Amino acid sequence: MLQTAVKPHDTRDIPNWRLGHHCGVAGIRAPQAMDVQRPLFYMLFAQQHRGQEACGVAWGDETGLRSDRRLGMVAGAADDWLSGSVSAKAGIGHVRYATQGGGGLANAQPLAVSCSQGRIALAHNGNLSNGAELRARLVADGSIFQTTSDSEIILHRIARSKMRDKESVLREALAGVEGAYSLCLIWDGAMVAVRDPMGFRPLHLAEEGGVSYVASETCALRALGPMDWREIAPGECVIVDDDGTRSFFLDPRPRRARCIFEPIYFARPDSWVFGRSVHASRRALGAALAAADTITPDVVVPVPDSGTLAAMGYAEVSGRPFAFGLTRNHYAGRSFILPTKGERELAVRMKLHAVEDVVAGKSVVIVDDSLVRGTTSGIIVRLLREAGAREVHLRLSSPELKWPCYYGIDIPTRDELISNRLDADGIAAHIGADSVRFLTVDGMRQALGAESGEFCSACFDGNYPCPVRHAGDAP
């Protein structure tokens, strides 16, 4: 099923389970061979928040292509990728969260092939909304797939092209491919970066000292030192090779649908996505939440770390004091199996702790970025009440999450999303809070400067910007 978000581990049993990140890509192309693994390591390390299940790098030039893919996090590859033993003109890398196609090493990226179009390695961020249909057509036509990831569909379409130059091949291969794809490829020694015409996922390009870099997020580019960057535009393809850098557009009239959840939750706060600081975006969301609120709390407390910046914005506009009334144990892992409700609650208690002298006897507003199932929020409310909070009001810096994502974010089914079963007052009663309030869709759009209709907000409003096929619970 296209919409099935397959996870390598059943994270539904893991407390504090949140929305799954998607993936992150990185790329580098130098005029002469150099150690490309080291900068790739740092760029992937900076984007670890975008995927923790697997990581990989590929490197090469006109004469060869090699790759190293691993399960687990980037730090586990430090001994090899920082050893300085690799020299190549081009390299790409990937961190993976298994939104589509499941986990396992077979689906780790970059995918590397040798085909009629040459030696190609591909790293992909996003999901194809017509991937199931495209795959079925390719299989019926004789294609043999090595992975269950829809990224391989793009490789097959490139390999089957009869065109001879890269621009023509890409135009042909990507025509009819729908959904989200921010791609970074090595192609016979060239680095190629492609962003889908709707621009769902971010992709950035930088050049420093004659070397070109590509990354999903600007934090990855800045990890290498100060450098100027630009957003790769929706529908833009950039090719960097020995002849320099050139770009062209897949679609002269792209219809933009940038993922509004990137600034709300997914991107790192020190990144810029879609031309705006993530830090500033989250503060603006919290400010909008406070501007529409009617209560006067004694203290504004973030759910760490996801609600911190929105809580700061809320406190600034409300004029109420901001304080860390919850602390987070950063050493609490997410790898243990928790079959019972009691154990899940215990695990949240291991991870989050209420600070009594901040909340005791007080009316507390707790701020988080979004509400998924409500399970963790209920435990947080109990923690605060046990610490002596007089009132607990939950505020969310995004609207009610009601629809799944088909473009690369792991959102549960509609039945599992609490906002499809209960309204705000019902949720408050369910989790034991005095009140629950969400930012409205209009408030979210205004706070993010997203009124122009260039953003996807389908998980909030059900308005999917491109067709969702074989998706049982789409509107």
Active-site residue list = 23
Choose among 243, 273, 239: nearest CA to 258.
Answer: 273
Which of residues 2 and 431 has its CB atom nearest to ligand SF4 in the complex?
A: 2
Which of residues 118 and 443 has its CB atom nearest to ligand SF4 in the complex?
A: 443
Q: Per CB under 6 A, does 417 bind ligand SF4?
A: no
Which of residues 352 and 456 has its CB atom nearest to ligand SF4 in the complex?
A: 456
Per CB under 6 A, the list member of 457, 466, 468, 474 interacting with ligand SF4 is 457
In the complex, what is the shortest distance from the CB of residue 464 to ligand SF4, in angstroms, rounded to a whole number? 7
Q: Per CB under 6 A, does 458 bind ligand SF4?
A: yes
Q: Per CB under 6 A, does 407 bind ligand SF4?
A: yes
Per the listing, tokens 């503060």 go with 283
Per CB under 6 A, the list member of 65, 259, 326, 431 interacting with ligand SF4 is 259
> The sheet that has 111-115: what strands, in order across it?
111-115, 118-125, 182-187, 190-195, 236-241, 244-249
Q: Per CB under 6 A, does 450 bind ligand SF4?
A: no
In the complex, what is the shortest distance from the CB of residue 361 to ligand SF4, in angstroms, rounded to a whole number? 39
Q: Per CB under 6 A, does 459 bind ligand SF4?
A: yes
d(CA 441, CA 423): 15
Q: Per CB under 6 A, does 98 bind ligand SF4?
A: no
In the complex, what is the shortest distance from the CB of residue 51 to ligand SF4, in angstroms, rounded to a whole number? 15
CB closest to ligand SF4, residue no: 405
Per the listing, tokens 């810096």 go with 397
d(CA 62, CA 118): 9
Per CB under 6 A, the list member of 367, 372, 409, 433 interacting with ligand SF4 is 409
CB count within 10 Å of CB 394 equals: 29
Helix ranges (DSSP H) in 145-189: 151-160, 166-174
The pairing of strands 272-273 and 204-208 is unpaired
Sign of the CA dihedral 81, 119, 113, 170? positive
Q: Per CB under 6 A, does 43 bind ligand SF4?
A: no
Give the binding range for ligand SF4 (CB under 6 A) out of 96-104, 140-148, 202-210, 457-465.
457-465
In the complex, what is the shortest distance from the CB of residue 300 to ligand SF4, in angstroms, rounded to a whole number? 26
d(CA 401, CA 458): 9
Choose among 211, 213, 238, 231: nearest CA to 223.
Answer: 213
Among positions 195-234, residues that touch ligand SF4 (CB under 6 A) are 200
Q: Per CB under 6 A, does 439 bind ligand SF4?
A: no
Give the binding range for ligand SF4 (CB under 6 A) out of 229-237, 253-261, 305-313, 328-336.
253-261
Which of residues 65 and 273 has its CB atom nearest to ligand SF4 in the complex?
A: 273
Which of residues 192 and 259 has its CB atom nearest to ligand SF4 in the complex?
A: 259
In the complex, what is the shortest distance from the CB of residue 71 to ligand SF4, in angstroms, rounded to a whole number? 25
> How far are the Cα atoms of 60, 72, 149, 223, 474 from residue 80, in angstroms, in the given order?
17, 14, 26, 19, 44
Query: 138: helix, coil or strand?
Result: helix
Choose among 270, 293, 310: nearest CA to 397.
Answer: 310
**What residue ranges bind ligand SF4 (CB under 6 A)?**
200, 259-261, 405, 407, 409, 456-459
